[in-house]
Structure 1
Amino acid sequence: MTSTSARDSFHSRIGFVLAAAGAAIGLGNIWAFPTQAANNGGGAFLLVYLIVTFLLALPALYAEIYIGNQAQTNPVSALTQSCGQRFKKLGHSAGIIGIIGAMMMLSFYTIVAGWMLSHALASLTELLGLNELAQWLSTSSTLRNVIFTPIFIVLGAAIVHQGVHSGIERWSARLMPLLLLMLLGLIIYILQQEGAMTGVTLYLVPDFSQVMNPKLIISAMGQAFFSLAIGVGAMMAYGSYMPKGQSVGKLVISITLLDTFIAFIAGLLIIPALFVAQHNGQEVFVDGHLIGEGQLIFTILPTLFNSMGDIGLLVSFGFFALLSIAALTSTISSTEVPVAYLIEDKSMSRKRATWLISGVVFIASMLLVAFFEQLFGLIIQLLTTILQPLMSLFYFIVVGWLWRRGNQLTDIALLKKHLSLKLLGFYLRFISPVLLGIVFINVAF
């Protein structure tokens, strides 16, 4: 295995926060979150999402980054080491499951990312008068998926193979501020349109009668874990690229607040936009649920943008370019998980590991394209509502119970005078696993 001193790393705290936030901020925030919120009572979903994020997802993110930061190695080796001699096989297996989860995420993520890119190009081609090409780019088809999915796989690989500092950190520092500026600009524009305030009210005023709905709670939990990219090893890998001794708690809070803020304002963009479309005569909801659900931003919003004339095409390009950037920052983090494993545990070069993983992802995504109806929704559900929460539960057990036969966070030598960390250790050891267990039991029965 590569020595710690020879490992690539992030060169600054802000570089780490932007890269980790980029891993978290992606289609989960801007594509999935508003859809879930609109389908699950708007303000009620937002309230439960915020509660679940800070009670469960934030501690899980802390546990994942902490394990990586302490081990200073890839997620498979980190979990193997942290589980100790007695449970090292369990840790190794969990690390491999995390890699499988990252590959699952990449297999569907790159397909959806390709949709974003093709819709952005559709707006540009329509502005240029290439209407037939624009129509093809904006219409779902197997051929379009076969062309655009590999484009996104190659874009992600091109950044990852440059390394942690030169690739991931540098590009995250460029893309994340651009994403935020574009998102805020689009919100300002949409909120000035007629009908937008109805959407704002639905989004911000919760219906408390829905708050204890088990379906809403599990949807919010799955969304929180998916949004923060927890449970697939990406944050563990990124944590390992920060020098030991950094204030992990402050970094985790920064990432969570930035990610939650982006999810919140994405809802503030898309839910009002739906009501603007409804005000303009489009049918948006049937029996209280969105038409097309996950496809809504490709069906309802382009029609809304088209109704605005040429300025609408520019807004459409900005919106889908924004989603493409969000997808790219998340793609590179998931790709880094198996790549780091192959570099450090299998002694591969970064270039070879990156392109090998990208080839496997291409095959997996093409299988999803071929059997879209049967597999696509199933893979997303398995990942977000089962694998990611269960891996998070395992991280709690590792940090709280298995690490060096005790709770690493309550090690007296490490935590003298740090009462807040002792309380965090207690929370991760007892409270977090119980809360996560209660959610699962609620759903099962």
Structure 2
Amino acid sequence: MEKKSPAFASRLGFILAAAGSAVGVGNIWGFPTQAASNGGGAFLLVYLIMIALLAYPMLVAEVTIGHIRRQNPIEALRHLSSRPFWRRFGFLSGLTGLLVLTLILSFYAIVSGWLVAYMLAPLLQLVGQDSLADWLLQFSHTRNLLTMLAFMLLTIYVVRSGVNSGIERWSRRLMPLLFILLIGMAGYILTLDGALQGLTMYLIPDFSAISDPQLIIRAMGQAFFSLSLGVCVMMTYGAYLSEKENIPKTAAWVAGIDTSVAFLAGLLILPAMFVAQNNGVAIYAEDGSLLSADTLVFSVLPTLFDTLGAAGPFVAIGFFLLMVIAAITSSISMLEAPVNALREEAGCERGKGVWIIAAVVTALSTLIIFYFDTLFTLVITLSTVYMQPIMALIFALMLTWVLRQHRLLKALQQGAPDIHKSLFWKIWPWYVKFVCPLLIILVIWQS
């Protein structure tokens, strides 16, 4: 007897959990860095357009795939066709997507461990533990290993509790806290000298830069990766969504919350960069390029916090707490997807499955830590630059080219009986079939 996926107790639970999955380090670190490196307001405007043109249609597609069968991505993709070839191809596609997700979590846990370290260090300084705080801020195998393990244990704790008591419950708590911290931090930073220059750069677009092909493609790539597309997460959560839910509307809420977090992160980070510059911290090179773009939150911002006097440690704790919350809302979905697939495909009990997948991820993370120079960038490049967009392309093509259209319409009509009369149905199927693949290919080509 097949095992059915669990289900979210409410529409709000799904929206907050799926938005939490999409909201991660990429929103609060990646998006502002991209904006600062690519014209500020011009990048923001193009990014918002690309969320609508690429990310949202693809989000609906992946949620729908999971929702049709209401089981894990392997079974969902295998079920799109009754033909043996496409069933085998669907199985391999789902399995590959979950393997890519496991690779992503293996380096994500390391980076998130650094965020934990940078959150704890100023707290330890406040209580007089300066030597331990300094150790947390120093790059070492031991520090990386222990903080990675701490972050993985937090993730395991949530996922072991199940969908309702774990993921949905903590998403309801963490997502509002994320918004409160973001708004509070941004409000404080905007009161500091130099913030207005960053705000102006962020909100007033240079329309001459909007036509830059590189800016457009980078904004497209950021929008695509922002919603956790191509790694089976949204399929997994789509399987947990009630049959009565309107998928396009619910997905719009997820995309809207994710985009709001990215926008608020820009309101925090870009003004903070110019506050740092006002306080003597160099943020741009002579050629106009952003200094330390890849390590912005570990170099420029801590230097800024050091210039804020007595408020500095508290601002640092708040900022890195914000980053840790964003990281864990994503990591729980990355762990949940392979755990549920193992539960349904192999009949493995949830608690045991969590420890099995977590052990595999931890082993990979440990290997990366001890061979950091060789593996860290390689794993990131392989999983996110190449495999993630390729898998998203495959998912889009399978939904629109392999699945028969009447089955697709029937799936969407469960939550929206009159959707066949809507403008959405007249545009979305062919758009995902023809336009989205071309846009994804552009992302792959640029990468």
State how far apart, in whole Å, the 1-side matches of 2:240 and 2:231 are: 16
Q: How many residues align?
A: 440
Q: Which amino acid aligns with 2:183?
A: L
Residues 1:382 and 1:219: Cα distance change in structure 2 (over 3 Å):
farther
**Runs of at least 5 residues in structure 1 that lack an aligned partner in the other structure:** none
Structure 2 counterpart of 1:244: 243
Deviation at 1:440, TM superposition (A): 4.6
**Separation in structure 2 between the aligned mates of residue 10 and residue 116 of structure 1, nearest angstrom:** 29
The CA distance in 2 between the partners of 1:215 and 1:19, in whole Å, is 33
Deviation, 1:32, is: 1.4
> What is the alpha-carbon distance in structure 2 between the residues aligned to residue 224 and residue 44 of structure 1?
14
The correspondence of residues 282-431 of structure 1 with structure 2, limited to 5 A, is: 282-286=281-285, 287-403=287-403, 405-406=404-405, 408-410=407-409, 414=413, 417-423=420-426, 424-431=428-435
58-67 or 409-418, which moves further after superposition? 409-418
More off after superposition, 298-307 vs 383-392:
383-392
Q: 5 Å matches for 1:7-406?
A: 7-85=5-83, 86-286=85-285, 287-403=287-403, 405-406=404-405
String of CA shifts for 1:360-399, please: whole Å, max 9, x gaps.
Answer: 1111111221222333233333333332222222222122
Contact 1:122 1:135 in 2 (8 A): yes
Matched-pair contact (CA < 8 Å) for 2:217–2:442: no
CA 377–38 in structure 1, closer or farther in 2 if over 3 Å, else same: farther
Query: What is the distance in 2 between the residues matched to 1:171 and 1:350?
Result: 18
Judge which range, 317-326 or 201-210, deviates more.
Answer: 201-210
Answer whether contact 1:137 1:144 (CA < 8 A) is retained: yes
Classify 1:209/1:375 alpha carbon distance in 2 versus 1 (closer, same or farther; 3 Å).
farther
How far has the Cα of 1:407 moved from its partner? 5.9
Helix, strand or coil: the match of 1:87?
A: helix
Distance of 1:381 and 1:205 partners within structure 2: 33
* Percentage of matched positions with identical amino acids: 45
Distance in 2, Cα, partners of 1:211 & 1:256: 22
Structure 1 residues 319 and 247: CA distance shift in structure 2, 3 A: same
TM-score (norm 2): 0.93
Going from structure 1 to structure 2, the CA distance change for 1:379 and 1:37 (only over 3 Å counts) comes to farther
Partners of 1:367 and 1:25 lie apart in 2 by 27
**2:438 aligns with one of 420, 424, 434:** 434
> Where in structure 1 do 4 or more consecutive aligned residues deviate above 6 Å?
none
Q: Secondary structure at the match of 2:171?
A: helix
Which whole-Å deviations, capped at 9, do the CAs of 1:156-179 have from their partners, x for residues lacking one?
A: 011111111111000111111011
Kept in 2, the 8 Å contact 1:399–1:408? The answer is no
CA change 1:58–1:170 in 2 (3 A) is same
1:199 offset after TM fit, Å?
Answer: 0.8
Match for 1:13: what amino acid? Answer: R
Kept in 1, the 8 Å contact 2:21–2:330? The answer is yes
Q: 1:231-277 CA distances to partner (integer Å, 9 max, x unpaired)?
A: 11111101101122310111100000100010011011011101100
CA contact (8 A) 1:35 1:293 kept: yes
Q: Deviations over 1:402-429 (max 9, x none)?
A: 11x4464456995665333422223222
CA contact (8 A) 2:104 2:384 kept: no
Tell me by how many angstroms 1:209 deviates.
3.9
Partners of 1:378 and 1:55 in 2: CA distance: 30
Question: 1: distance between equivalents of 2:80 and 2:181?
Answer: 41
Change (3 A) 1:372 1:213: farther
- Taking structure 1 as the reference length, the TM-score comes to 0.94
- Please report how far the alpha carbon of residue 280 of structure 1 lies from its aligned counterpart in structure 2 after TM superposition: 0.4
In the alignment, the residues of structure 1 paired with residue 152 and residue 21 of structure 2 have an alpha-carbon distance, to the nearest angstrom, of: 15
Deviation at residue 131 of structure 1 after TM alignment: 1.5
Superposition deviation, residue 204 in structure 1: 1.9
Is the Cα–Cα contact under 8 Å of residues 407 and 429 in structure 1 kept in the other structure?
Answer: no
Closer, same or farther: CA 363–412 of 1 in aligned 2, 3 Å: closer
- Describe the SS at the equivalent of 1:194: coil
C-alpha displacement of 1:141: 2.3
| Residue pair 1:407, 1:425 contacting (<8 A) in 2 also | no
Distance in 2 between the 1:62 and 1:279 partners?
43
Per-residue deviation, 1:224: 1.9
Shift of residue 438, structure 1, vs aligned partner:
4.8
Distance 1:428 1:408 in 2: 16
Given that residues 218 and 385 in structure 1 are in contact (C-alpha distance below 8 angstroms), is that contact kept between their aligned partners in structure 2?
no
Measured in 2, the distance between the counterparts of 1:412 and 1:303 equals 52
Q: Deviations over 1:2-28 (max 9, x none)?
A: 433xx4210000011011111011111
CA distance 1:283–1:439, shift in 2 (3 Å): closer
Cα contact 1:107–1:362 (8 A) shared by 2: yes
CA spacing shift, 1:47–1:372, aligned 2, 3 Å = farther
Q: Over aligned residues, Cα RMSD in angstroms? A: 2.0
Q: Contact (CA 8 Å) 1:9, 1:241: kept in 2 or not?
A: yes
- Counterpart AA for 2:34: Q
CA apart distance, 1:212 = 4.1
Equivalent residues of 2:247, 2:412 under 8 A apart: no
- Residue 96 (structure 1) shift: 1.0
The answer (yes or no) to whether the contact 1:105–1:380 under 8 Å persists in 2 is: yes
